[in-house]
Homo-oligomer: A and B are copies of this chain.
């Protein structure tokens, strides 16, 4: 009666990796992203270290700012998916 295999990464770890990936893809510093989202740079840093239990509203704001759906920002392995962001460059 197993329902589902446990994902290899926690939601926090997925979020951290995907933000870091999209941010570098879009050539944004932590500070630049923080400014765009309206959060503090240290907040973004703590999210990227999986230290922070981010609220759903802030995950949504981060996704909107990075130009992806919230489900992409929480995907297991976004960096290896084809065309993860609408404005990705090859």
Contact = CB atoms under 8 A, between A and B. Distances in A.
The oligomer's copy count stands at 2
| Interface size range of chain A in the complex | 20 to 34
Q: At the interface, is chain A mostly helix, strand, loop or mixed? A: loop
Interface string A47-87: 00000011111011000100111110011100000000011
A10 interface: yes
A64 B68 CA distance: 24
Given A4-B68, A6-B64, A69-B76, 18 more contacts: A3-B87, A4-B67, A4-B86, A7-B69, A7-B70, A11-B56, A11-B57, A11-B60, A12-B57, A15-B56, A53-B55, A53-B56, A54-B56, A55-B55, A55-B56, A56-B59, A70-B74, A71-B75
